[in-house]
Every structure is written in C-alpha cells, then in structure tokens.
Structure 1
Amino acid sequence: MNLSGLSFFRSLRSDPKSHASNKLFAVIGLGRFGRAVCSTLHQLGYEVMAVDNDEKLVAQVLTERIAAHALQLDSTEISALKEAGIFEFDTVIVAIGNYLEESIITTLNLKEGGVPHLVAKASSETHEKLLKKVGADHVVFPEHETGCALARSLTKPSILDRFDLDPENSIVEILVPEEFDGKTITELKLRSRYGLNLLAVSQDRKFEINPDPNRRLYKGSAMVVIGTNKDINRLPI
C-alpha cells in the first residue's frame, strides 16, 4: 500500500495555501530525496519546478521527465530565486539535507521572498532547529523515517507497511495472522476484541476498501487496520 511517504505529503496538505487546487510546487535540491518528491508529485498530476546548482542533476530530471520544468541556479542567491519566479510558488520543498549552510540560507531566502508554505529536509536535530528559526513551516527527516521503518520490518516482519498518525496511533498493513485464517471479518470482531477498525483487505496487492463483513480472510493476504499502537501490538502477528 506504500504508506511510508504519507507523512511527508501530509505536510504538504497541512497548510490551506498548499491545498490540492494549487498545483504548483518547486523542489530545490535534486538528490535522491528531491528526485523522489519531484517524481511522485509529477505522477500525481502536479506541476513541478525542479532546481539544483548541479547541471548534471538538472539534466537528469529533464531526461527522466519527472518535472515540468528544471533549472540550474544557486539557491543561496536571492536574486537568482527571484528571477526564476520561485517566490511565486505556493509550496517550495528544500531538499538540501547534507549541506547545512546552503540549506539554511536557501530557506531564509525563500521566506524573505514571501513563499507561503515551506517544507525543508533536515539531517539532524540542530539542523531542524535552525530551519525552524529561519522560517521553515515543516521539517522532515526522510532518513530517520526510513531507518524506523527498517527496524520495524526486521522486528515485525508481518507488518508490511505503517503510517504513524501521531506518537500513539497508526495505520498498518499486515499479513493476515494464521489465527484469522478462514474466518469472516464479522467473526474476527476486530473492534470489540482489539479496538481496531478494518479499512481494507488485499490479495496480490489489489485492495478492497470497506470490505464486506462476510468476506473471509486467508493466510497470505493482507489487511489494513487503524488504531492505537497499543491495540495493534495485541494482534497475533
């Protein structure tokens, strides 16, 4: 179900100015994370401006056709950002995580230029604090989130995917436990027994939302549930 990216894209929706009706995004920094953001937004139908100081990375984005436009410029120069029209975008993602000075100056430039919604990638807690000091509306830690997901997959291999709603509640996609094999959704009584709500079931990666209560679940298929982490951990997984 690929829930792992939802926390990042939720940050893009959390400000009214970045609502789906505004389909203009700029991504500054075209490393692995930046290209992934460009590609996903482009596939979702949003118009994306890709920006980097490295000519090769800009050319790569154009070759892969994962952005509507791509420019080579120095984002630490406020005049370059203004001339490129970056200040006119509703949402800008600063995907420069490994170059602290460049990341901070770019974020400051964008806020001074009037960008209403700014998401920035951080590589440490200190980096996060600095980004927020200069005006970042949201700060993300993609490497941290990936590391957490890996640890969970190693310790709970039956959990295929997970999206943390907050520190206490999550949506998880899990393999149907052997204890549930052959039973109907009604028979499982997930809400009364575990305090969980079933959102979907899947077979061969094809999902059925709000499945029929009389549907039987079988080992090897998957189900998506929502609830507290405490209740999710009580499942026989």
Structure 2
Amino acid sequence: MDRPAFSFFRNLMPSRPRQFAVIGLGRFGRAVCETLHTSGYEVLATDVDEKRVADILTTGLAAHAIIIDSTNPLALKEAGIFEFDTVIVAIGNYLQESIITTLNLKEAGVPYVIAKASSDVHAKLLQKVGADRLVLPEHEAGCNLAQTLIKPGILDRLDLDPEHSIVELKAPESFYGKTILELRLRSDYGLNVLAIGQSQNFDINPKPDRRLCQDDVLVVIGNKLDLDRLPL
C-alpha cells in the first residue's frame, strides 16, 4: 500500500538548491536519483556500468551521469564528487566496493556520506570507515510495512533517536470536535503537538483551544512507547 507523502516535513525542507551525488545505480540508487531529481534537486549519478549510466541519461532521472570506478580516489576527485556536501553510496551488494568507496569519500572530507548496507555486518563495517548514515532498505521497508498494519493512522514517522520520534498522523474520529487541551495529549501521553492542519496548510505550535476537525492531520513528538498508546 502506498503511503501518503510526509507533507509537513517536506514543507520544512530548505529552499536553497542542494546538490547530491549518487554512486551505484541499481534499484535503490536509481530510486534515490529519481526522487531527488523530480523534487528539483541537482543530482550527479555515477556507476561503473555503462548501461546503467546510459539508462539514467536516457530516462532523464538525473541532471548528470558519468561512468566511474568509485574505488579509485583519483577518479572521484576528477569527477568533482569530493566537492559535494552529501553523497549517497548505493553499492549495497558489493561489500568491498561499498566500503572502499565510503572510506575514500570520508578521507577526502565529504561532510555527509549515506551508505546502503545489505546486512548488519556490512553496516558495522561501513560505520567503522566513517559513514554518517546507514540505510538498510529491506529492513526499513519491513518495519514501515509493519507500522502501517499496526497503526494505520500514522502517515509517517521521523525517528530522532532510539526512543523518540516525530509522527504525522490522521486525527482519529474520537478526536473530532475536541480541543488540544481536552485531548490531554501532554498530561496523559507525554506528547507535544507541533502542528495541526490539512494538506499544505499547517498551524504551527497551535493554541490549546485549537479544535480538531475531520481530515485534520497532527504532527506530534514524544517517546515511541507513548506514541504507540495513541488510540489510532
């Protein structure tokens, strides 16, 4: 089942242009390129496979695409990849190439490197060589699916740390017509309401007397265990 876009956080994204480099154009890397490109960001797509690079250019899923061996630091430097503030290493199925590429990027001073991992061991190795963020797509997809089954009212979730999250959720029917104060979300659940709204229009830091309507969406922050207690 497709999940609604996390519209509240999308609206908070910086308006200034940002550039991304994506290394590895398999399914994961291609999806990253497509999403960033269609969202208006400039993307440099790279892969050692000529056919994959050609396909990205043909379909227009990135502003630029080049063939490169990312295990070669000189090749990365000549391509200008060390100048990017964010680089996504999407070579999840080739451990050696993935680890060496990540190491090359961090040793060259790339500020933020996101690396795809195919297993827990792979993730630990990537962390050892300096990856700033690890992504295990299959694991995360499974967790997200389970969340939608357990709590279908939650549209999306941003984990802040192992214990706390910000979630965007549809107001349940039991919330209709009640004010934030009457819901007692802070006193009974330990949760704080960051915003309430519909579609693109959000009331940031709403007042306690703000009354909820049908189709309202709430953005709340709190402990994951408290969030799970919500009547969704």
Question: Offset at 1:213?
Answer: 4.4
Match of 2:193 in 1: 198
**1:80-111 deviations in Å (ceiling 9; x for gaps):** 32332223333322111112122122223334
Match of 1:143 in 2: 138
Query: Identity across aligned pairs (percent)?
Result: 64
Q: How many residues align?
A: 224
Match of 1:16 in 2: none
Of 35-44 and 51-60, the range deviating more from structure 2 = 35-44
1: CA distance between counterparts of 2:215 and 2:135? 34
The aligned amino acid for 1:80 is: A
The aligned amino acid for 2:104 is: N
2:159 to 149, 164, 175: 164
Match of 1:174 in 2: 169
Match of 1:9 in 2: none
Alpha-carbon spacing, 1:185–1:36, altered in 2? closer, same or farther (3 Å): same
Unaligned runs of 5+ in 1: 7-12, 14-18
Q: Could you tell me the TM-score, scaled by structure 1's length?
A: 0.79
> How well do the aligned residues superpose, as a CA RMSD in angstroms?
2.9
The aligned amino acid for 1:230 is: L
2: CA distance between counterparts of 1:159 and 1:215? 21
Matched, 1:39 2:42: no
Other structure's SS at 2:131 match? coil
Alpha-carbon spacing, 1:179–1:20, altered in 2? closer, same or farther (3 Å): closer
The runs of at least 4 consecutive aligned structure 1 residues that moved more than 6 Å come to: 19-22
Question: Offset at 1:151?
Answer: 0.7
2:219 to 221, 224, 229: 224
Match of 2:50 in 1: 55
Alpha-carbon spacing, 1:155–1:75, altered in 2? closer, same or farther (3 Å): same
Matched, 1:122 2:117: yes
2: CA distance between counterparts of 1:23 and 1:171? 24
1: CA distance between counterparts of 2:16 and 2:177? 44
Q: Could you tell me the TM-score, scaled by structure 2's length?
A: 0.80
Alpha-carbon spacing, 1:231–1:48, altered in 2? closer, same or farther (3 Å): same
Unaligned runs of 5+ in 2: none
Of 217-226 and 49-58, the range deviating more from structure 2 = 217-226
CA contact (8 A) 2:106 2:130 kept: yes
Match of 1:87 in 2: 82
The aligned amino acid for 1:61 is: I
1: CA distance between counterparts of 2:152 and 2:20? 36
